[in-house]
Structure 1
């Protein structure tokens, strides 16, 4: 149970907490000032989905995940579907909080899990419902597992306690400390038969939105967790084995500092690159409106082909093909198939901004 007042005597936490709040404040201010930030956030979210699912073992690249499923090798499609579901689940949570003014709660967590598990591996493991049997992490059975979560009989009380902690305004626990503890507790409860890691990582940006720390969904921490995967799991396990909550909080705050700083830098790089491309639009030739529409389509999804662009923008395929050829000649696009027909183009410089 975590719904209580928490205190610490570790000065390093105070320093890191100050740094994390400062970086989050800078990110929040920047995200509210940048034109078209929602487009950039979409690509930032795409990288988050890729990294969060890679922690769970998926192997698809961001380019593959941006392509239509029919164009992927069959063995890659399941991985891509899981990434698509992650994006859909996160967007669902964001919409519920920002548009419906719905609180981060047990009900919303179950809704997110339901979206996450539709039509993918684990879809028969009661999507959107807390488990009614024992599960475990690692090993072939509880006796040789690396971690055995609490019995399913305790889940209602544990989730209720977690939900109260999320919204308890009678205790004085800073928001970033609180979400660090929420993430740890959710992962330790492991309330679903599958998809707990991804659901737990989705909860982090939703909490920051729900608590008003950020006004835009622009903070995604899975990239840091994926890069420091061993340290991430070790920090969680040390709480379970040695009650080292301080160590976990220090890791989480450091991750928050680096994540917020990295996001602000990426958005700045995206703005600079888009400004550079805007100056090239008159050199492409033809209708500026059509050219701008094609550029905007690539900002929305950096992997495109002429047929989809023609249909989605109501521009003739001949015109689209001419624009794509000109953009390719200017070095704005790369052709990634090597085919003479049915070509697929990638705005790689733009994509690279978000995955560095």
Structure 2
């Protein structure tokens, strides 16, 4: 991609949507892209949760890119952004994992606060000290994820925090440049197997199947993400050529970037990104509608301009 930053407004939201859905926080694609974290305008409570997830991912990404470490402070900050509180690690006993069908406790994570702190300190060392074990980073990511989920250090948000750590670890290990892998989609599609294998390791130390499950997930989602990015790149070129050939006066890199950062864009977004007056932004958007690049819809009192072809790519299964 000529500018990978344009992917950061879309693909991390898809990862956030899938990861949140695993925890039964379900939103529609329309609600997701009509919402805006910067202005605190959300189409639904679930969309707000998903946007908080994306912000937590961005916070962690910036921290890892800056320090090259995944520290306990970063993990706590990610969870705090997700949950909107600073409760930190569990200090009260009683947290257990319950089978939602039988309502029986299937696993009791460490209960004593000191034990949680000790286990998390050990995990922090394991994550950041490559000299401890000579494992392939993808295998190590599977081990880290299981250990974090089994320590279950927070009152809430453990699953989503753990899945953010997956992506942050791949970034730390230079296997990803930006947080755009859809790993949670694979987990969401195979949720029953995911939870079964998590528990199987706890019950019988059967690590092989768990590691293979996670490796398969990375392989599948990496292939899917590569295909998606290639399609987005082709679509960008198509739209660039159309604008240049049929309405060159409105073309700018900033405008193209806006259309791909915001599948549902607005006059205000274009005016801000292109540093132009609202009236000029409105005229440019209406011209893009005439060209068939955007579709204009009114939702409530606001006009949205939808990059329909991009939107279709993002929601493809």
Asked if these proteins are the same fold (TM beyond 0.5), I'd say: yes
Deviations 1:102-159 (Å, cap 9, x if unpaired)? Answer: 41122221121122222xxxx4xx44x110123122369xx93343222134212211
1:78-97, aligned counterparts within 5 Å?
Answer: 78-97=45-64
Whether 2:13 is the aligned partner of 1:46: answer: yes
Change beyond 3 A, Cα 1:324–1:259: same
1:234-249, aligned counterparts within 5 Å?
Answer: 234-249=196-211
Distance in structure 1 (CA, Å) of the matches to 2:9 and 2:267: 22
| Corresponding residue for residue 353 of structure 1 | 313
| Corresponding residue for residue 252 of structure 1 | 214
Residue 96 of structure 2 contacts residue 108 of structure 2 at CA under 8 Å; is this kept in 1? yes
Whether 2:111 is the aligned partner of 1:144: answer: no
**Alpha-carbon distance, 1:324 to partner:** 2.2
| Corresponding residue for residue 224 of structure 2 | 262
Q: Which of 146, 155, 158 is the equivalent residue of 2:119?
A: 158
Whether 2:164 is the aligned partner of 1:212: answer: no
Residue 181 of structure 2 contacts residue 221 of structure 2 at CA under 8 Å; is this kept in 1? yes
| Partner SS state of residue 345, structure 1 | strand
Runs of 4+ in 1 over 6 A off after TM superposition: none
Residue 152 of structure 1 contacts residue 191 of structure 1 at CA under 8 Å; is this kept in 2? no
Q: Which of 113, 117, 135 is the equivalent residue of 2:79?
A: 113
Extract unaligned runs of 5+ from structure 1. Answer: 1-33
Larger relative contact order, structure 1 or 2 (CA cutoff 8 Å, min sep 6)? 1
Extract unaligned runs of 5+ from structure 2. Answer: none
Distance in structure 1 (CA, Å) of the matches to 2:171 and 2:165: 10
When normalised by structure 2's length, the TM-score is: 0.88
1:184-223, aligned counterparts within 5 Å?
Answer: 184-223=146-185
Distance in structure 2 (CA, Å) of the matches to 1:211 and 1:349: 33
Whether 2:302 is the aligned partner of 1:342: answer: yes
Change beyond 3 A, Cα 1:293–1:176: closer
Change beyond 3 A, Cα 1:136–1:343: same
| Partner SS state of residue 287, structure 1 | helix
CA RMSD of aligned residues (A): 2.4
| Partner SS state of residue 35, structure 1 | coil
Change beyond 3 A, Cα 1:239–1:277: same
Distance in structure 2 (CA, Å) of the matches to 1:152 and 1:284: 67
| Partner SS state of residue 174, structure 2 | coil
Distance in structure 1 (CA, Å) of the matches to 2:171 and 2:247: 43
| Corresponding residue for residue 328 of structure 1 | 289
Distance in structure 1 (CA, Å) of the matches to 2:136 and 2:273: 46
| Corresponding residue for residue 296 of structure 1 | 257
Distance in structure 1 (CA, Å) of the matches to 2:244 and 2:315: 29
Change beyond 3 A, Cα 1:325–1:281: same
**Alpha-carbon distance, 1:307 to partner:** 4.1
| Partner SS state of residue 265, structure 2 | strand
| Corresponding residue for residue 65 of structure 1 | 32
When normalised by structure 1's length, the TM-score is: 0.79
Distance in structure 2 (CA, Å) of the matches to 1:185 and 1:352: 37
| Partner SS state of residue 193, structure 1 | coil
Change beyond 3 A, Cα 1:284–1:304: farther
Distance in structure 2 (CA, Å) of the matches to 1:66 and 1:338: 12
Change beyond 3 A, Cα 1:292–1:102: closer
Distance in structure 2 (CA, Å) of the matches to 1:90 and 1:343: 29
Distance in structure 1 (CA, Å) of the matches to 2:91 and 2:299: 51
Whether 2:4 is the aligned partner of 1:37: answer: yes
Query: How many pairs align?
Result: 308
